[in-house]
Amino acid sequence: MQISSRFSIGVHILSLLAIRPQDHHTSEWLAGSVGTNPVVIRRVLGHLKKAGLANVKAGSGGATLARELDEITLLDVYRAVDVVEEGRLFHMHEQPNPACPVGANIEQVLRLMMVKAQAAMEGVLAAVTMRELVDVLAREIEGKRAGNG
Amino acid sequence: MQISSRFSIGVHILSLLAIRPQDHHTSEWLAGSVGTNPVVIRRVLGHLKKAGLANVKAGSGGATLARELDEITLLDVYRAVDVVEEGRLFHMHEQPNPACPVGANIEQVLRLMMVKAQAAMEGVLAAVTMRELVDVLAREIEGKRAGNG
DNA sequence: GTAAGACGTAACTATAATAGTTACAACGAA
DNA sequence: TTCGTTGTAACTATTATAGTTACGTCTTAC
C-alpha cells in the first residue's frame, strides 16, 4: 500500500504558490499543473488551509501561502493532508490470541519497532523545508531553461 | 493508508516458530495464535518460504525456520511479504503537466525526498533482527509469568 | 494401497480508501 | 446583480485488504 498522493499534490500546490506568487491561483489553474480535477485540488487545499499553510479566498478565489517557506516542512504538509494516522503507518493484525504467550505480547513488542521506523521516516520529512525544496526545484527549472536538462 | 498486516503476521509467525520449536506448526495452529483464518496464514507463510525464511512441509504439514534468527531482520520479513514496492512507499500523483515548469520538475525533486524518507524507515527495520525481537518478547513473557505484568 | 490430514491456490465476498466527477448553494468583487 | 470561485455533498470506478469456502495434490501412517 502507498501513502496517498494528497501529499505530493499538497507539495505541488505549495510549490506553485511559492514560485508564481503573482498569478491568480484558482483550483482550476492549479489543477492544470497538477493534472487532476479542480475538486481534488480544493479538497487538498482545504487541508492546507485548516493546517494554516495556505489561505484561500472565498468568492473571488485564489490561494496564497499563509507562512514563510522556511516555516513549512514536508512533515507539516504530510500531517496537514492526513495521509497517515499518528503512529499508525503499520497496520497490526487485530486479534492476536491473548491465551498464547506470543499472541499476548507480540503487539507491544512489535509496536515499539513500528513506531521507531515511522518516526525515522517522518524525521526525514521534518528535516526538509519547502524553502529547500523550492530552491532545488527552481534550480532544476533554470537548468533546463539553459539547455542542460 | 497503512502498511498491510501481512508484515505483523509474518513477524508473529516467525516468533512462534522460534519460541516453540518443538510444536507441529500447522496453518491451523498458527492461525489460532494470530487470530485469523488458516488460509491467511498459508498465504503469508508462502511469502516467507519464497524468501527463504521458513520451510513448509507439504503433505504432513508444519513450518520451521529456514534461517538462524540472527540472520533474519525485520526488513527481510517486510520485503518477503511484499507490503511496499521498492522505493514506492509514497504515491506520487501521476499526470503533472509537463508544460508547466513546476509540473515538469516536481516529480524528480520530490521523489528524492520520498526515497530518502522511505530508506530511513527501512533502515530501522534492517537494524533489528528477529533474534533481538524474540529476546525482548521472551523477556516480556517471562516477566508476566513471574507476576510483574 | 488407501485413508487422514495438511498444504497451495483459486474464487468469491465484504470492507475501506483513493481519486475522479457532477452538481449546487454560498460568497465576493467588479 | 452578475460572474466566477469556493466548499461540500453525492456518486462512481478502481484497487487493496482480509476473510471464507472449496478442492486438487502431497506425505505419512496404518
Q: From the CA of B128, how many Å to the nearest CA of chain A? A: 8
Residue in the structure block whose three cell numbers are 517471562: B142
Residue A45: pLDDT band (50, 70, 90) is: very high
pLDDT: which is higher, B28 or B143: B28
Q: Does A125 touch chain B (CB under 8 A)?
A: yes
Give strand pairing partners of B64: B55
Q: Quick check: is B1 in a domain?
A: no
* CATH code at position B65: 1.10.10.10
* Domain extent for B14: 6-145
Q: Quick check: is B125 in a domain?
A: yes
pLDDT: which is higher, B141 or A144: B141
Q: Does A16 touch chain B (CB under 8 A)?
A: yes
Q: Quick check: is B88 in a domain?
A: yes
What is the number of domains present in chain B? 1
Contact B105 A140 (CB under 8 A): yes
> What's the pLDDT at B148?
55
Cβ proximity of B113 and A73 under 8 Å: no
Count the helices and strands in chain B (H runs, E runs). Answer: 6, 2
> What's the pLDDT at A146?
75
Tell me the per-residue pLDDT of A48-89, one tens digit each, with 9 for 90 and over. 999 999 999 988 989 999 999 999 999 999 999 999 999 999
Torsion angle, alpha carbons of A10, A14, A20, A26, to 10 = 50
Alpha-carbon distances of B148 from A70, A106, B128, B145, rounded to whole Å: 49, 17, 26, 7
Sign of torsion over alpha carbons A15, A87, A113, B4 = negative
Strand D reaches within 7 A of the A5 CB: no
